[in-house]
């Protein structure tokens, strides 16, 4: 109802930019309510009179004490994809890592869970998805996809979006190697290096004896080599991304920035390589592109020559990254402690370094054989003592018989 000035005593009507009219009023509880349908959707009117009529009905309900607060509209359920996209957007990640996470979510997780309300995802759903995923992809991708799902769900628990993490598949976060990596023997390594073109030989040697990654080697520069102290300084790495091509970045952890002592027997080859294959200046790349000394070497360029070389060495199974494994096992076989291995390999946690310590146990037979070689064919004092003991026993038994 309007007063003499033309203004309503109850409620408010306003015209929207669309030309339709919206009605609202203050309820007895002091809160303002806007016209909505019984389902909770926004309600507008063709004319101002229709809006005023709606307000009159609400006023009548209040006067008759029949008014009840309208039900709040149910919020749209938060889907897993909405939460996961926000989770990814708010993480400080290296570009390569972000691409890996996006790929795992897009290929393996969103097709099953993306459109579901996050609160509706149960442990049984995850268990079924995990089993079906094994039929579609390899074990490594399966583990990584499960890992990103479990991590996101764990954050949702911390954010109180869900009550419990539905990712409870025992052992699903651990990948089993399809085969054990067999490190290169020293003769195999020698044959491999000999089969490589000269400009790539030091790269193979440093990968093996210094246990460096390809990305670390590709970004090494003249200024990172300390010839006097026989040290390489690993400060950066190069990775290939979909969006920006090859990108120079810091290691994933501070442990990745490290000095690596070069075995002395490599130093003549290091000096020769610097003299013959590296441009002048501290920023000159040690292993640049063959066509441009200022451009990083592509991994595909290396593999064009590495593939034939490993076949000549009789190790077609030996991936370039396996040379790092070779170097780690060699370091462990010298008796290096876990902390020393972690420092040399650039690991921030002991898990990976422990693998190499375990691998070095294979040398126990070599050690046992070497111990026997100390005897040099002579009867040891232990054997002499055992011979004397047997002789005494025989004499003792003979006297007892007599």
State yes or no: is 25 an active-site residue: no
Q: Is residue 203 part of a domain?
A: yes
Quick one: 146 and 220 in the same domain?
no
The CATH number given to whatever domain includes residue 134 is: 1.10.150.130
Number of domain units in the chain: 3
CA distance 333 to 49: 91
- CA nearest 80: which of 42, 108, 38, 47? 108
239: CATH? 1.10.443.10
Does a structural domain hold residue 52?
A: yes
Same domain for 121 and 241, yes or no, is no
145 and 30 in a common domain: no
Distance of CA 171 to CAs 28, 132, 167, 354, Å?
A: 58, 16, 11, 19
Q: Same domain for 331 and 289?
A: yes
Helix, coil or strand: residue 13? strand
For residues 50 and 91, membership in a common domain is answered with no
Q: Is residue 154 a part of any domain in this protein?
A: yes
What pLDDT does residue 211 have? 87
| 205 and 341 part of one domain | yes
* Number of CB atoms found within 10 A of residue 160's CB: 7
Catalytic residue among 144, 236, 324, 325: 324
Task: Give CA 353 to chain center in angstroms.
Answer: 17
Per-residue b/e over 103-138, b at no fewer than 16 CB within 10 Å?
ebbeebbbebbeeeebeebeeeebbebbeebeeeee
Residue 59 and residue 102 in one domain:
no
Residue 172 lies in a domain: no
Would residue 106 count as lying in a domain?
A: yes
The closest of 101, 30, 294, 313 to 196, measured between CA atoms, is 313
Clarify whether 356 is annotated catalytic: yes
Q: Active site residue: 25, 200, 306, 356, which one?
A: 356
Task: Determine, yes or no, domain membership for 144.
Answer: yes
Query: Do 35 and 21 form a contact (C-beta atoms < 8 A)?
Result: no
Residue whose C-alpha is closest to residue 209's, from 330, 102, 121: 330
Which pLDDT does position 258 carry in this prediction?
Answer: 87
Q: Angle at Cα 368 formed by Cα 365 and Cα 374, nearest 5°?
A: 145
Mean pLDDT by 10 residues, the chain (402 residues): 59 93 93 86 92 94 90 81 94 84 95 95 95 88 93 94 93 65 88 94 92 92 93 87 74 77 91 94 92 89 94 94 86 73 69 56 53 51 56 59 49
Phi, psi of 27 (to 5 degrees): -80, 170
Tell me which residue has tokens 């006097």.
228
pLDDT of residue 386: 57
Q: Which of 58, 144, 213, 344 is catalytic?
A: 213
User: Quick check: is 242 catalytic?
Assistant: no
Are 237 and 104 in the same domain?
Answer: no
Closest CA to 223 of 298, 286, 273: 286
Catalytic, 213? Answer yes
DSSP code per residue over 258-308: EEEEPPGGGHHHHHHHHHHHS-SSTT-BSSB-SS-TTSBPPHHHHHHHHHH
Are the C-beta atoms of 273 and 202 separated by less than 8 Å? yes
Q: Is 397 part of any domain?
A: no
Check whether residue 48 and residue 87 sit in a common domain: no
Residue with token string 């393996």: 108
| d(C-alpha 94, C-alpha 326), whole Å | 28
Q: Are residues 353 and 241 in the same domain?
A: yes
Q: State whether 300 and 235 are in the same domain.
A: yes
CA atoms within 13 A on the CB side of 385: 3
Using only C-alpha atoms, the chain has a radius of gyration, in whole angstroms, of: 36
C-alpha distances in Å from residue 172, one per residue of 125, 127, 176, 353, 355 = 14, 10, 10, 22, 20
Residue 36 placed within a domain? yes
What domain range includes position 19? Answer: 12-63
Same-domain check for residues 226 and 281: yes
347 is catalytic: yes
* Cα–Cα distances in angstroms (integers) from residue 373 to residues 187, 239, 364, 380, in the given order: 22, 48, 14, 12
Q: pTM of whole model > 0.75? A: no
How much of the chain is helix, strand and coil, in % rounded to 5? Answer: 50, 10, 40
Catalytic-labelled residue, pool 107, 271, 319, 321? 321
């Amino acid at each position: 109802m309007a007063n003499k000035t033309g203004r309503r005593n109850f409620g408010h009507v306003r015209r929207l930019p669309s030309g339709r009219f919206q009605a609202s009023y203050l309820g007895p509880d002091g809160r303002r309510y806007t016209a909505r349908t019984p389902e909770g959707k926004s309600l507008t009117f063709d004319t101002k009179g229709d809006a005023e009529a709606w307000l009159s009905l609400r006023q009548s309900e209040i006067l008759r004490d029949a008014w009840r607060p309208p039900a709040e509209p149910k919020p749209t359920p938060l889907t897993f994809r909405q939460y996961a996209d926000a989770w990814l957007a708010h993480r400080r990640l290296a570009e390569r890592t972000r691409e890996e996470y996006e790929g795992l979510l897009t290929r393996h997780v969103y097709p099953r869970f993306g459109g579901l309300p996050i609160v509706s995802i149960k442990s049984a759903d995850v268990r079924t998805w995990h089993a079906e995923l094994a039929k579609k992809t390899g074990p490594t991708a399966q583990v990584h996809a499960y890992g990103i799902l479990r991590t996101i769900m764990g954050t949702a628990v911390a954010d109180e979006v869900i009550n419990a993490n539905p990712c409870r598949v025992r052992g699903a976060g651990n990948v089993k190697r399809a085969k054990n990596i067999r490190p290169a023997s020293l003769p195999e390594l020698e044959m491999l290096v000999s089969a490589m073109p000269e400009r790539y030989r030091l790269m193979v040697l440093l990968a093996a004896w210094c246990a460096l990654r390809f990305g670390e080697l590709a970004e090494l520069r003249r200024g990172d080599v300390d010839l006097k102290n026989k040290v390489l300084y690993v400060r950066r790495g190069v990775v290939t991304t979909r969006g920006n091509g090859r990108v120079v970045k810091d290691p994933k952890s501070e442990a990745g920035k490290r000095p690596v002592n070069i075995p002395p027997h490599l130093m003549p080859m290091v000096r020769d390589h610097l003299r013959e294959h590296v441009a002048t200046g501290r920023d000159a790349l040690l292993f640049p592109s063959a066509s441009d000394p200022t451009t990083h070497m592509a991994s595909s360029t290396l593999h064009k020559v590495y593939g034939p070389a490993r076949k000549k060495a009789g190790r077609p199974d030996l991936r370039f990254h396996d040379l790092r494994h070779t170097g780690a096992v060699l370091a462990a076989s010298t008796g290096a402690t876990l902390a020393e291995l972690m420092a040399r390999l650039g690991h921030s946690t002991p898990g990976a370094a422990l693998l190499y310590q375990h691998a070095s146990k294979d040398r126990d037979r070599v050690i046992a054989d070497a111990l026997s070689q100390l005897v040099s064919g002579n009867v040891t004092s232990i054997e002499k003592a055992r011979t004397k003991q047997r002789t005494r026993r025989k004499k003792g038994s003979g006297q007892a018989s007599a």
